[in-house]
Every structure is written in structure tokens, then in C-alpha cells.
Amino acid sequence: MNRNAMTSFRQVRAAAPRGRRIAVAGADDPAVLHAVAMAVSEGIVSGGRLCMSRLTRAEAELELEQAGLEPGSFEIDAVGEGRAAGDREPCFQAVAAVRDGEADILMKGFVQTADFMRAVLNKETGIRAGNLLCQVGVYEVPSLGRLVVMADVGIVIVPDLDQLVGIAAGAVQVAKALCLGDEGRPRVAMLSSVDTVNPAIPGNANAALIVQMAARGQIPGAGKAGSGAIFDGPLALDNAISLDAARHKGIVSDVAGRADVLIVPDLNSGNMLAKSVIYLCGASAAGVVTGASCPVVLTSRADAPETKLNSIALAALLGAGDGQRSAA
């Protein structure tokens, strides 16, 4: 048993480094500002840059005060000065703040995901680090009493084998930051609808290939020795999560029934699985993007402030673990 494994977002927020600076694209939204205010209250965030397109500077300062934020701690970019200039400009300004060293964490606020990702991926001005960008979700599931990592839940539509390698690597990075798995070795389940290799099922054969590649050390963060993550698959969801289900079906592995990480075959299944645990199981959530030059908070505009706060804390934790730029 790993006593260092984080089992709740309360622990994630407590473990997150203090005093990070954040750049928010589309900060002109009460839920976004509330989340940033909570992060400031907990000491995770000390200031940064708030990029807006729907408010004037005076209106923005009033919104900050109403959210409990000290305007002097944040630079305000009211690019539209109340003229609803659109989402593009605040996205590019927030990315520029990170690229120029003014912020440690990038956050998507009340803007379209497509505009946000265009700014992140821009070849000339973006912050892509040469790795595949994928959205990794973390969920505190009440029925399990622990955290579960899922990927990809928001970016890569139908990943090929090379993209699955990147997705798995990003998910393992997050799981290790959370100290999941025995002795810090996360258990990774490659999900499918069945537990046997069947090339007729989309994504099924690739799941088996990823497991073999992980055993050969071809997946960053994986391998049999040291602190490498342990992979198995294809596994159906019940056998990945439930020891009783796995035992009843005679599936014996280090991962079956105890998976810390769930890698889905495509975006449809990942997005639906993630929303199912939130809306049907009452799970708390966080969402980050891996593969960029800094931690990126990516949540839905409809997500509660608590989800956004959890995501900020997770991003801060990832930045500290990767040795990425820290606050001065």
C-alpha cells in the first residue's frame, strides 16, 4: 500500500506549491474569478494576468473586488474595453504571458476551447513543447474513495498508436505527480469493450500493443523496473476498476481491479466516461493539458468553481514535479 498516494482533491490542494502566477484567457466570468480567488485564498496563486474581452477595465476591477481579489495583484488586459471583441485576443495574450515568463500556469476561462487551443498550438507564438497535447482528467469518485486518472477526455478524437503513446505518457505524468500506485508505480488500464485482443474492435489491438511497448520501456514513465508505471489491457471497465469483477472472470494481473489510470480508445468514450462519473456518480473533477511547456488548466465553461480550483491546484503540482518555471 502506498501511504503517499493522494486520495482526494483536499490533499492535492494541500500539496500544491504556493505562490504561483496564473494567466487566464477569458477571465470575465464570475465562476472563473471565484476559482482564482479561492486559489489565492489557499495560497496556491499569488497573482498573474487576467485577459478579458467583454468588460472595460473599470468593470473588470469591480468584478475582481466582488470576487474577493485584490486588483493590484493582477495585471488586467481588457482587450475589448466592453465591446465584446471575441475570444481570440485574450487567448493569445494569456499564452504570451506564459511564454514571456510572466506566469507559471495557463488557464482557459470563459472562451471557446477551439480559440484557446489555437493560441496554445500556434507555431510562432504558442507554447507547445514538441509533445502531443492531450487532456487528462482526474476524478475523486465517492464509491471508490480514491482518485482516478483518465485520458484523453477532450482533445485527440481518434488516436493512432503514436498518439496513444503520447496520451499514456501524459496520463502517467499526472498519476506520478499524485503519487498513485504501489511505490509510486501507477497501474494503467488500456480500456476496450472486451478483455481479449480483437482487431475488429476499434482501438482494441492498439491497447494490446501499448501494453507490450510499455513492458519494453517504449512508453515514457513506464517499464517493469524502478518507478515505471505498470500497464495491462485490453481491459473492460468493470475488470479495470472492480477486483470482484476481475476475480469472477479469472483475470489476474497487477492492474486488473486496481487501475489508477484509464486510457480510453477515443474521444467519444473518454468524454462520456468522464461526464458519467461527474453527473451520475457525483465525482469531483480536475482537468489539465499535458504536452505544453507549462501546466495548462482546461475545464468546461459550465464547470463549477470548485472544479476549476482543483484544476489550478493540479496544474501547480504538475509544474513543480516537472521542474517547469516557478514563481520568483
Residues 259-288 as b or e (16 or more Cβ within 10 Å = b): bbbbbbbebebbbebbeebbeeeebbbbbb
Residue 67 has a pLDDT of 87
Give start-end residues of each CATH 3.40.718.10 domain in the chain. Answer: 134-279
Closest CA to 239 of 229, 230, 249, 231: 249
Residue 323 has a pLDDT of 41
Mean pLDDT by 10 residues, the chain (328 residues): 88 97 94 95 96 85 87 82 72 96 96 94 92 96 97 96 97 96 93 96 97 92 77 97 96 96 98 97 97 94 94 95 41
SS3 assignment, position 121: helix
- Contact status, residue 106 vs residue 127, Cβ threshold 8 Å: yes
As assigned by CATH, the class of the 9-129+292-322 domain is: alpha beta
Residue 81 has a pLDDT of 59
Q: Which residues pair with 285 in a beta bridge?
A: 139
* Cβ neighbours for 99, distance < 8 A, ≥ 6 positions apart: 125, 126, 127, 293
Residue 325 has a pLDDT of 37
Return the number of other C-beta atoms located less than 10 Å from residue 194's C-beta.
12
| Phi, psi (rounded to 5 degrees) for 223 | 140, 165
pTM for this predicted structure: 0.93
* Cβ neighbours for 100, distance < 8 A, ≥ 6 positions apart: none
Q: Which tens digit of pLDDT belongs to each residue from 217-239?
A: 899 888 765 668 999 999 999 99
Q: Which tens digit of pLDDT belongs to each residue from 33-89?
A: 999 999 999 999 999 999 998 888 888 888 888 888 887 889 998 866 555 567 899
- Contact status, residue 270 vs residue 151, Cβ threshold 8 Å: yes
- Contact status, residue 152 vs residue 135, Cβ threshold 8 Å: yes
Distances from the Cα of 218 to the Cα of 89, 211, 212, angstroms = 39, 10, 9
Return the number of other C-beta atoms located less than 10 Å from residue 126's C-beta.
20
- Rg (C-alpha) for the chain, rounded Å, is 20
As assigned by CATH, the class of the 134-279 domain is: alpha beta
Query: Rounded to 5 degrees, what angle do the CA atoms 143, 147, 150 make?
Result: 105
SS3 assignment, position 220: coil
Residue 225 has a pLDDT of 59
Give start-end residues of each CATH 3.40.50.10950 domain in the chain. Answer: 9-129+292-322
